[in-house]
Amino acid sequence: MTNSEQGTRPTVRADLAAMSGYHSPQVRVDVRLNTNESPLGPPKEFVEQVLAEAKQILWHRYPDRSAVALRHAVGAAVGQSASRIYCANGSNEVLQNLLMTYAGAGRTTLTFEPTYALHSHLSLTTGSTAVALSRGTDFELSAESAREAVDSHQPAVTFLCSPNNPTGMLEPRSTVEAVLDAVESAGGLLVVDEAYGEFAPWSATELVDESRSLAVVKTYSKTWAMAGVRLGYMIAPDWLVKAMEAVTLPYHLDSMKQAMGIAALDHGEAMTARVDGVKAERNRVAGRLAELDCRVWPSAANFILFRPPVEAPTDIWQRLVDRSVLIRDTSSWRGLEGCLRVTIGSTTENSVFLAAMADILEQS
């Protein structure tokens, strides 16, 4: 007899049973523009360096538990001391560990939707109460409404995402400063997710200071073309980095990952060239979508949110899949009725996408 026949199968936590996991459909297509990855892999010199590193690693030993060399390298790259750098397996793990440290049972987190789904999802899996408020009609966030929200909900952790996924929009410095002031008055922590920060004209990293309750979270997944490595980091005051020790699993960053994170930083120029290429293509794709009568939101990231001039955007999405082009159907997400999101790919991929769009819209 199986467990379920006996009725003895363990029950999932009630609050989790009601949730759905976080998934981005992985359909097999030629042109994949749905998860905001880099269209190009890292430079081949990096791959060769990594292979050489692999021969040096003491595989039978645990890795450096506090990833000292990696944190020094990241700190040098962003102009901060190593004591202000915390690394984890993707920025998602940084976010989860932040929530385990500062949110959790009996505490509230605050998001402004639409935004990255993992912020509220991880709030719930860590047992926090997630308050999700809406942005304005064009996805803007006024400093005034953010301040009121913080005052009335007294969140332990408040999230901003800049540039924001899925809208691509950048939070101005004045808004981040206003929200940070409000968060500090309420005794909370502001987390700014800058997964796409390198595509944007300014970074909240400039505001990080021992006296401020601010953590800026970044990743190697997008700009560094290393989504397959799973490495993210946070820039935050020393006291905050120290506080994270309590929830961090021992030796969570394997030796190879630490070596790869350091090696990547030797290729900053190649990375900058990739970012510049994506930004140029972003402007071309945005311009063409606007010509096709799509509503296009201004993006400071490597993707574009747009609304095609049709009733049913899911049909457009499906017809793109039929032509082996996969983008993200965001039309069922709260506040994103009618919208689709496309990642900026290589020049060829973008051209295939734009030609398919023109064709499909002509037939609609």
Ligand X SMILES: *Cc1c(COP(=O)(O)O)cnc(C)c1O
Binding site for ligand X (CB under 6 A): 36, 90-92, 116, 161, 165, 193, 195, 219, 221-222, 227, 232
Minimum CB separation from ligand X for residue 355, in Å?
A: 27
Return d(Cα 188, Cα 193) in angstroms, integer. 16
Minimum CB separation from ligand X for residue 38, in Å?
A: 11
The β-bridge relationship of strands 303-307 and 295-296 is antiparallel
Length in residues, the chain: 364
Note whether 116 and 303 are within 8 A (CB).
no
Minimum CB separation from ligand X for residue 325, in Å?
A: 20
- Beta carbon nearer to ligand X, 131 or 195: 195
Minimum CB separation from ligand X for residue 93, in Å?
A: 7
Minimum CB separation from ligand X for residue 151, in Å?
A: 26
- Beta carbon nearer to ligand X, 221 or 258: 221
- Beta carbon nearer to ligand X, 25 or 187: 25
DSSP one-letter code for 56: H
**Which residues is 14 bridged to in the sheet?**
none
Return d(Cα 35, Cα 22) in angstroms, integer. 12
Minimum CB separation from ligand X for residue 360, in Å?
A: 26
- Beta carbon nearer to ligand X, 128 or 186: 128
- Beta carbon nearer to ligand X, 97 or 213: 97
Minimum CB separation from ligand X for residue 152, in Å?
A: 25
* Placement of tokens 């980091």 in the chain: 233
- Beta carbon nearer to ligand X, 167 or 350: 167
SS3 159: strand
CA 302 from chain centre, in angstroms, equals 11
Return d(Cα 123, Cα 101) in angstroms, integer. 11
Other CB atoms within a 10 A radius of the CB of residue 190 amount to 25
Return d(Cα 110, Cα 12) in angstroms, integer. 25
- Taking CB atoms, the residue at the shortest distance from ligand X is 90
Give the residue among 227, 244, 296 at the shortest CA–CA distance from 89.
227
Other CB atoms within a 10 A radius of the CB of residue 12 amount to 10
- Beta carbon nearer to ligand X, 102 or 196: 196
Other CB atoms within a 10 A radius of the CB of residue 90 amount to 18
